[in-house]
Structure 1
Amino acid sequence: MSNKVETYLTAKKNSSPPELSKKFGDLEELYNKKLWHQVTLSLLELVKEPTMKEGTELISLYNNITSELENKINPLSLAEMAGEVMTQYKDPNEAITFIERVSPKVVDHQEARVLCNVLKAQATLKRLEDPARTKKILDDTEKLLDDIDGITPVHAKFYKLASDLYCHTGAHALYYRAALRYLGCTELSELDDDSKGKHAFYLGLAALLGEGIYNFGELLAHPILGSLEGCGCGWLLELLITFNQGDINKFESSKQKWSSQPDLLARETHLREKIRLLCLMEMTLQRKAWDRQLSFSEIATATGLGERQVEVMVMRALALGLVKGTIDQVSRQVNITWVQPRVLHKNQLVSMMERLSDWCEDVSSMQTLLQDQAASILTH
């Protein structure tokens, strides 16, 4: 044992409360036996001790013991400990410098490299308040993340920070995708009720306000939306269902509720355009595959538009890739051949099952007809 480690451990055993003193005594014994895995586990426990989170205790622990064992500790564990230590640096630049010193020591471990980058980006965003620099770090880190097999706790940390960044910059669509990925890597039981409510609320707003988001099924299927009822935001869940159904009339009738949210009220025109596009998609989905010729008047009635505005809206849907088809200006009809796949809600699945049943009946009828006519066909 080095003199520095011995001096530190002796001092901590003598000055710490009994329970913490015992942990330092156990650490000393493990260190002397060179049981490095057990030493690592002991250090991971120590950095989470409430007493050690006071002042600069963690910095002292790292400088006196952990730094002596950097080549013996599991790289991911070293990065996790470094994340706790850097919180005690009052100067954010010093915290970043510290994590930059640790990074080269875990360079051969992909998860640990990603975690160090995330920790650096976290300090850059939350303490230096530099979103542009944070974005650069995360973009570089995502390439490393893609090379990691499976889903790890590091994925959750990365997507949590990415969602924080996009929430800070008001990038609704990017926030929506990052936040859903974060929830996909995290057990809901790990979040408290307040966190669940905030995630659900921000996700709901991002889905409504985000450019290019026309699929609400994945979000509606997520159990986190149940938190909206608990935090008095049940109206937002109703609004998401309304959009998913493309129900323009219900959207208009519930304006008194959703207009109380300033962000939604400010983007009222955008919301109305989005729900009309979703209405067109839903109209198409509800029709049989061989019966998707929609007249301008049908679309106008369903979307609340004038017939003169229908063509522009349909052209917008075609340009966004939400549907494929043609517009017949002479007969004033739209022939839709394809609608963008979506995660379907239960009611939409029931409707699809009914259409599948009709299709099976039609196929069966055709089969019977062919069998009945087969004799006359074969004799000619």
Structure 2
Amino acid sequence: MNSKVENYLTSKKDSTNAELAKKFGELEDFYSKKLWHQLTVALQKLVKESALQTGTELLDLYNNVVSELENKINPLSLMEIVAEVSTQYKDPNEALTFVEKTAPKVKDHKEAKVLCNVVNAGILLHRIKDQQKTKKMLEETEKMLDEIDGVASVHGKFYLLASDLYCQSGAHADFYRASLRYLGCIDLNTLDGPTQQKHAFYLGLAALLGEGVYNFGELLAHPILESLKGTSQEWLIELLYVYNGGNIQKFESMKPQWSTQPDLLARENKMREKIRLLCLMEMTFKRNARDRQLTFAEIAEETGLPEGQVEVMVMKALSLGLVKGTIDQVDQKVNITWVQPRVLDKKQIASMMNRLGDWCKDVNEMQKMLEDKATSILTL
């Protein structure tokens, strides 16, 4: 047994408050019985205790206990403990050096290696404020992450940090994708109400402002939006549904609400451009597959654009891959053959069910016609 560890645990057990004394007593008991797993779990809980977040308490715990037992602790658990301890360094460069010293000790464990990079990147982003180095490190780490089977705890930590980076740099589309992935890696119940509201609000803004984000269905189906109900930001949920349905008139009527958000107001023209493209997609989606010839006049009426600008908008939709088809400039018509697949909301699914019902009816009528005409066809 290590006398350094024993002396530290004994002194802490005798000098701290009753609650902490009990926890250090458990550590001492696990250590004396060589119950390394139980000791590791207890250490992971202990480093999160608020009473140890002041001064150098975590550093003392690491230097006197953890550093002496590193070969007994699971590499991933070790990195989780190191991540907590690193926050007690006032100098971010010292924190970075501390974490980097642990890297060789966990290099053979994929998840621990990823977490080590994520912790380093977090220090670079939040404390040193170096976005370029953070981005480079996350790009390298993502390749390592792809080698891990299934969804591990490090996936959530990685995507949370990635979303923080994109939020700071104003990359709305990247933030939207990273945040959705983060929420897909965690149990939503582990986040408190205010945190859920923050994620939901930022996600909603990113969906509206993100370049290339034309699919709102996944976000609309996510329970995170429930956190905005009953708050002053509930209007954002309605606005997302308005966008998803390409409802220009409703968008304009909601301007008193969304214009209170500076980011949205500053990009008003971009927002109108996006909802018009979504309007075109929705117009096509609602049509029967055999009736997807739209006139410039119809498109202009639905999107609120002058007829002279319709062609340019349709060309943009074609170039973005939102729809496929051809433009007839002479007859002022657009023939659309395909619409980009999207995650549908309940109303859109109901519309699709109605069209499927019509299709089944057409198939049955064709079957009856063939049965009626079968004799004359077979005798030809």
Take 1:316 and 1:39, find their aligned partners in 2: how far apart are those partners? 61
Distance 1:94 1:21, change over 3 A: same
Take 1:262 and 1:45, find their aligned partners in 2: how far apart are those partners? 41
Shift of 1:7: 2.8
Shift of 1:66: 0.9
The match for 1:338 is 338
Take 1:46 and 1:254, find their aligned partners in 2: how far apart are those partners? 50
Q: Which moved more, 1:219-228 or 1:30-39?
A: 30-39
Take 1:72 and 1:12, find their aligned partners in 2: how far apart are those partners? 21
Q: Does 1:133 align with 2:129?
A: no
Shift of 1:225: 1.1
The match for 1:103 is 103
Deviations 1:29-70 (A, max 9, x none): 332332222221232232123322221111111111111111
Write out aligned runs for 1:227-376 (5 A): 227-376=227-376
SS at match of 1:230: coil
The match for 2:26 is 26
The match for 1:175 is 175
The match for 1:59 is 59
Structure 1 moving runs of 4+ over 6 Å: none
Shift of 1:201: 0.8
Take 1:15 and 1:231, find their aligned partners in 2: how far apart are those partners? 46
Take 2:23 and 2:224, find their aligned partners in 1: how far apart are those partners? 39
The total of aligned residue pairs comes to: 380
Take 1:265 and 1:24, find their aligned partners in 2: how far apart are those partners? 55
SS at match of 1:213: coil
Shift of 1:192: 1.0
Write out aligned runs for 1:151-166 (5 A): 151-166=151-166
Take 1:348 and 1:228, find their aligned partners in 2: how far apart are those partners? 23
Shift of 1:199: 0.9
The match for 2:201 is 201
Shift of 1:12: 1.9
Take 2:172 and 2:108, find their aligned partners in 1: how far apart are those partners? 35
Q: Which moved more, 1:6-15 or 1:179-188?
A: 6-15
Take 1:247 and 1:22, find their aligned partners in 2: how far apart are those partners? 61
**What amino acid is aligned across from residue 265 of structure 2 in structure 1?**
L
Take 2:39 and 2:82, find their aligned partners in 1: how far apart are those partners? 16
Shift of 1:161: 0.9
Scaled by the length of structure 2, what TM-score is found? 0.97
The match for 1:191 is 191
The match for 1:37 is 37
Take 1:326 and 1:27, find their aligned partners in 2: how far apart are those partners? 72
Take 2:26 and 2:226, find their aligned partners in 1: how far apart are those partners? 46
Q: Which moved more, 1:221-230 or 1:168-177?
A: 221-230
Q: Which moved more, 1:41-50 or 1:232-241?
A: 41-50
SS at match of 1:88: coil
Deviations 1:157-207 (A, max 9, x none): 111111111111111000000111111112221111111111111111100
**What amino acid is aligned across from residue 148 of structure 1 in structure 2?**
I
SS at match of 2:72: coil
Shift of 1:10: 3.0
The match for 1:8 is 8
SS at match of 1:89: coil
Take 1:190 and 1:45, find their aligned partners in 2: how far apart are those partners? 16
CA RMSD of aligned residues (A): 1.2
> For structure 1, which runs of at least 5 residues remain unmatched after alignment?
none
SS at match of 1:93: helix
Take 2:323 and 2:198, find their aligned partners in 1: how far apart are those partners? 33
Take 1:66 and 1:132, find their aligned partners in 2: how far apart are those partners? 33
**What amino acid is aligned across from residue 285 of structure 1 in structure 2?**
F
Shift of 1:234: 1.8
Q: Which moved more, 1:150-159 or 1:17-26?
A: 17-26
SS at match of 2:48: coil
Shift of 1:3: 3.1
Shift of 1:5: 2.0
SS at match of 1:294: strand
Shift of 1:334: 0.4
Deviations 1:310-340 (A, max 9, x none): 1110000000000000001111110000000
SS at match of 1:276: helix
Q: Does 1:116 align with 2:119?
A: no
**What amino acid is aligned across from residue 147 of structure 1 in structure 2?**
E
**What amino acid is aligned across from residue 107 of structure 2 in structure 1?**
V
Deviations 1:188-247 (A, max 9, x none): 211111111111111111000000000111111111112222321122111111111101
Take 1:214 and 1:144, find their aligned partners in 2: how far apart are those partners? 30
